[in-house]
Chain A
Amino acid sequence: MRKISFGEALREALQEEMRRDENVFLLGEDIGLQGGDFGVTKGLQAEFGESRVRDTPISETAIIGLSLGAASVGMRPVAEIMFSDFLGVCMDQILNQVSKMRYMSGGQVKTPVVIRTAFGAGISAGPQHSQSPEAFFMHIPGLQVVMPSTPYDAKGLMKTAIRNDNPVIFFEHKLLYSDKGDVPEQEYLLPFGMADIKKRGTDVTIIATGLMTKKALTAAEMLEKDGVSAEVVDLRTLMPLDEKTVIGSVKKTGRAVVVHEAWKRCGVGAEIAAMIMEEGMDYLDAPVKRVAGLNVPTPFSPALEKYVVPNEKDIVKAVKEIT
C-alpha cells in the first residue's frame, strides 16, 4: 500500500470532498496562495480557484462567523484557524454561535462548519502557539471534536467531518504532519465515535489521542520488554466518545491510563476517568491514572518545553504504578 504523510492525507480529503460537492469551500489565513502554514492546502487554490479557497484577513471572529452564515444557508465551509491557540479569538462564534445555532432555533437549521486547526507543543513555538485546547471544546454541547493520530485516520475522519451536518473541530498535531503511513487509493470514510485499538494487550489499557497515541505505542513496546502487555486505544474522536470500546478494553485489562498533552487539570482525561469509574467500576483493579501536561503555559526554551508534555517514560512510569 502507498505511504503518504498526515498533511498529504488531509489535503487529499479536502480535494476529494471539494471535487465531490461544489458547496464545500475553504477559508483561512494564508491557505490559498501559500497553501497554509503547514502546507495542508497546497495546490488547492490552483485547482479550485480563489472563490473556493479564500485567503482571509486576520479575523478569526469573521472567519468563523462567515462560515456559520454560509453554512446556515447550505454551504459547507472548512475554516482553518492557523494555530489552535487562536481559537481564543473566535471563542464567542464557537461557544455561543456555531455550537448552539441549531438547538436555539429548535432544529430549523443545520450548521455543517468544519474548523481545522494545528495544535500541540514540541517545536519551541512558545506559549501562544503550542497549546492543546480540546477540553474546552469537548465541553461544549453541539460540537464534535476530532483528533486523529495517523494519515489513514486523518483522511477518513476529515471526509466524514465535511459530509457531517454538524459542527466539527478537527485538531491536527503539528508534529504529525510529516508522519507517513499507509493510506489506500480507494475512497473510504471513518465514522465518528469509533475508537481504534492500535495495539492489543491484556494488562493495561492506555487511552490516547493525537501525538500521545504515538507515544503510547512506543511506551507499549517498552512495557512489552518488561513483560507488561498494554492495549492502546486511540480515541480518534473525543466527541462523540467511544465509551463502548474504552469500557470493553478496561473490562479485559482491569487497568486504565489516559494520556493527553493538554494541561492535566480539567483535561479530557478527567472526563474519561470519571466515565470509566461510572461505567466500569466493577472492572477496575486500580484507580484510573492520568498522564498529562503540567499545569503551566508551554515555555519556549527546548530545555524546558520537553518537560511540560508527557513522554514515553512518563507513560511507562504511570503504568508501572498500577500494575
Chain B
Amino acid sequence: MRQKMKEMFKLPLNPEKMVELYKCMVTIRRFEEKVSELFANGAIPGFVHLYIGQEAVAVGVCANLREGDNILSTHRGHGHCIAKGASLKRMMAELFGKSTGFCKGKGGSMHIADYESGILGANAIVGANIPIAAGAAFAAKSRGTDQVAVAFFGDGATSTGAFHEGINIAAAWKLPAIFVCENNLYAISTRANRSIPVKNIADKAAAYGIPGVVVDGMDIIAVYNAAREAVEKARRGEGPTLIECKTYRFCGSFEGDPQLYRRKEEREEWEKKDPLNFGRKLVESRHLTNADLQKIEADVKSSIEEAVKYARDSAYPEPKETTTDLLA
C-alpha cells in the first residue's frame, strides 16, 4: 500500500508542493462555502456561481504557472483566481461590491480581475474568454518570452463560436495557449451529451491538429501532470493543448439553482471522489498528520474570516465612481 502511494507521488511533486496544492484546494472550498452562506443572508448581491467540487482543476493547472503567465477565467471563477494567487480580502470585498474590491465593486463575482497577478478577468459571456486568451498568448509569442496564457471554460462553452475561433487561431498560429475545459456534465440544466455529439470534448482537438487530453478532474495529481505537459509544450513554442477535465460541481449552477435536472444520487457518487480526499491520502502516505490537516483548516478559516471582516469593514464606492474608469 505504501509502495503504491509512493509510486503515485513519485513524480513530479515534492511533499511541500503537494501540501501546498492541498491547502489551496481547501482554501477554495472554504471560501466558496463562506460565499454561499453570505449570499444566502444577503451580504453578497447579484449572482454567484460556486466552484465546489472542481478545486483540483484550478489548483492543478495554476500550480504550473508563473506570475507572468496569464489566465482568463469565467463566471465560475473564484477557484481560478484563488489558485492564481489573488488576495482573498480583495476578492471578498469585490463580491460585497465594496470600493476596496479588485474592480472597485464595478465587476462583482463574475468579473473578478487582478491584472498584477496575471488574471486578465473573469468573463460572463460563455466562451468569450477563449479568443482573448489567444491574444495574451499572441503577445507573449510576439515578444519572444516563454509566457503562456490559459483559458478556463466549461462543457457548455465548447458549443460556442468563440471556442472554435479562439482555439482555431491559436492552433493555426501556434500560440502558447492552454485551453482547459472543465466538463462538469451540465450547462446549467442541459446535460453535456445533449449538446456535444462526440464522446469526449478532448476529441474536438483533432479538428485543430492539437493534442486533446482527457484527465480525471477530481485528481489533483493527474490534473497537475497533464497541465505541466501542456504548459511546457507551450513554453517550448510547440503550440496549444486542449485539456478536458472530467469534473463535477457539487453545488448548483448558481446559488438558488433548484437543480431539477440531476439526481442527488449522481452527486453523491461524485462526492466520493471529492478532490479534498487528497488530504486523507497525504495522511495515509505519512506526508501529513491529522493534526496538520486540522491546522490547515484552522489557518484557512482564519484567512477567510479576515477576508470577510475586510469586506464588511470596507466602504462602498461613492456615487461619483459610476462614471470613472471608463476611458484611460
Nearest chain B residue, comparing its CB with the CB of A110: B328
Segment from A64-72, A148-156, A297-305 that makes contact with B? A64-72
Contact B138 A66 (CB under 8 A): yes
A73 near B: Cβ within 8 Å? yes
Q: Is the CB of B125 within 8 A of A104?
A: no
Assess whether A186 is interfacial by the CB under 8 Å rule: no
- On chain B, the residues within 8 Å of A165 by CB distance are 327-328
Is residue A141 contacting chain B, with contact meaning CB distance below 8 A?
A: yes
Specify which chain B residues have a CB less than 8 angstroms from the CB of A67 in the assembled complex: 135
Residues of B within 8 A of A71 (CB): 135
Min CB distance B102 to A, Å, is: 7
CB-CB under 8 A from A69, the residues of chain B are 72, 120, 131-139, 149
CA distance A106 to B105 in the complex (A): 7
**Contacting pair B325 A106 (CB below 8 A):** yes
Query: Which of B41-49, B159-167, B189-197, B292-300 contacts its partner?
Result: B159-167
Inter-chain contact A70/B135, CB cutoff 8 Å = yes
Evaluate contact between B115 and A93: CB separation under 8 angstroms.
no
**Interface hit among A95-103, A126-134, A242-250, A275-283:** A95-103
| Residues on B with beta carbons closer than 8 Å to the beta carbon of A65 | 128, 130-132, 134-135, 162, 165-166
The reply to whether B325 and A61 form a contact with Cβ atoms under 8 Å apart is no
Interface flag for B111 (CB, 8 Å) = yes
Asked if B326 lies at the interface with its beta carbon under 8 angstroms from chain A, I say yes
Taking the complex as formed, is A175 at the interface, i.e. its CB lies under 8 A from any CB of chain B?
no
Is there an interface contact between B165 and A102, defined as CB atoms closer than 8 Å? Answer: no
CB distance from B220 to the nearest CB of A (A): 28
CB-CB under 8 A for A103 and B135, given A25-B142, A66-B169, A75-B142: no
Instruction: Give per-residue flags for A70-102: 1 if the beta carbon is below 8 A from chain B beta carbons, else 0.
Output: 111111000000000000000011001100011
A102 to B326, CA, bound (A): 6
Interface residues of A in 217-268 (CB under 8 A from B): none
Within the complex, what minimum Cβ distance (angstroms) separates A184 from chain B?
Answer: 29
**Looking at the complex, which one of A66, A102, A106, A109 makes contact with B131 (CB distance below 8 Å)?**
A66
- Give the residue name and chain of the A residue nearest to B328 (CB): A165
When A59-B168, A106-B101, A108-B115 are in contact, do A72 and B162 touch as well, CB less than 8 Å? no
Q: Is B237 an interface residue (CB 8 A)?
A: no
Q: Does A142 contact B (CB under 8 A)?
A: yes
- Which residue on A lies nearest to B317, using beta carbons? A106
Q: Is A15 an interface residue (CB 8 A)?
A: no
- C-alpha spacing A65/B123, complex, angstroms: 12
In the complex, A33 Cα to B11 Cα: how many Å? 48
Q: Shortest Cβ distance from A322 into chain B, in angstroms? A: 36
Instruction: Tell me whether B132 and A68 are in contact (CB under 8 A).
Output: yes
CB distance from A23 to the nearest CB of B (A): 9
User: For chain B, which range describes its interface: under 10, 10 to 19, 20 to 34, or 35 or more residues?
Assistant: 35 or more
Report the separation of the CA atoms of residues A68 and B137 in the bound assembly, to the nearest whole angstrom. 11
- Residue A34 interfacial (CB < 8 Å): no
CB distance from B123 to the nearest CB of A (A): 8
Bound-complex Cα distance A52 to B142 (A): 8
Residues in A neighbouring B136, C-beta threshold 8 A: 69-70, 72-73
Q: Closest chain B residue to A141 by CB distance? A: B326
The answer on a CB contact under 8 Å between B324 and A107 is yes
- Check if B169 sits within 8 Å of A166, measured CB to CB: no
Across-interface contacts of B137 in A (CB, < 8 A): 69
A97 to B131 Cα, complex, angstroms: 11
**Residues of chain B in range 110-164 having any CB-CB distance to chain A below 8 Å:** 111, 113-116, 120-121, 123-125, 128, 130-140, 142, 149, 161-162
* Distance (whole angstroms) from the CB of A160 to the closest CB of chain B: 14
Interface check B85, CB cutoff 8 A: no
Tell me, in angstroms, the Cα distance from A141 to B111 when the chains sit together: 18
Task: Choose from A52, A97, A109, A166 the contact partner of B113 (Cβ within 8 Å).
Answer: A109
Contact, CB under 8 Å: B115 / A109: yes
Does B228 count as interface, using CB distance less than 8 angstroms? no
Question: Whole-angstrom distance from the CB of A25 to the nearest CB of chain B?
Answer: 7
A46 within 8 A of B: no
Q: How far is the CA of A108 from the CA of B106 in the complex (A)?
A: 11
In the complex, what residues of A have CB within 8 A of residue B324's CB?
107
Which residues of A lie under 8 Å from residue B115 when comparing CB positions?
Answer: 72, 105, 108-109
Task: Check B120–A106 contact: CB distance below 8 A.
Answer: no
Given contacts A66-B134, A72-B120, contact A57 B139 (CB under 8 A): no
Candidates A54, A73, A93; contact of B128 at CB < 8 Å: A93
Measured CB to CB, the closest approach of chain A to B230, in angstroms, equals 18
CA distance A110 to B328 in the complex (A): 6
Closest B residue to A52 using CB positions: B142
Chain B 74-115 near chain A by CB (<8 Å), digits 1 or 0: 000000000000000000000000000111111100010111
Flag if A92 contacts B162 (CB, 8 Å).
yes
Closest B residue to A71 by beta carbon equals B135
B327 and A105 within 8 A (CB): no
Are B134 and A101 neighbours in the complex by a CB distance under 8 Å? no
For residue A59, which residues in chain B have a CB less than 8 angstroms away from its CB? 131, 165, 168-169
Structural contact, A104 and B111, CB atoms closer than 8 A: yes
Please judge, given known A-B contacts A70-B139, A142-B326, whether A62 and B166 are in contact too, CB under 8 Å: yes
Can you list 9 A-B pairs with a CB-CB distance of less than 8 A?
A57-B169, A65-B130, A65-B134, A70-B136, A105-B102, A106-B107, A109-B115, A109-B120, A142-B327
The 8 A-B residue pairs with the shortest CB-CB distance in the complex, in nearest-first order = A69-B135, A65-B131, A107-B325, A106-B104, A106-B103, A62-B165, A66-B135, A165-B328
Task: Using CB atoms and an 8 Å cutoff, list the residues of chain A in contact with chain B.
Answer: 25, 51-52, 54, 56-57, 59-62, 64-75, 92-93, 96-97, 101-110, 141-142, 144, 165-166
12 extra interchain contacts, Cβ-Cβ under 8 A, other than A72-B136, A103-B325, A106-B325? A61-B161, A62-B166, A66-B134, A70-B135, A92-B128, A93-B131, A102-B325, A105-B106, A105-B121, A105-B325, A108-B103, A108-B116
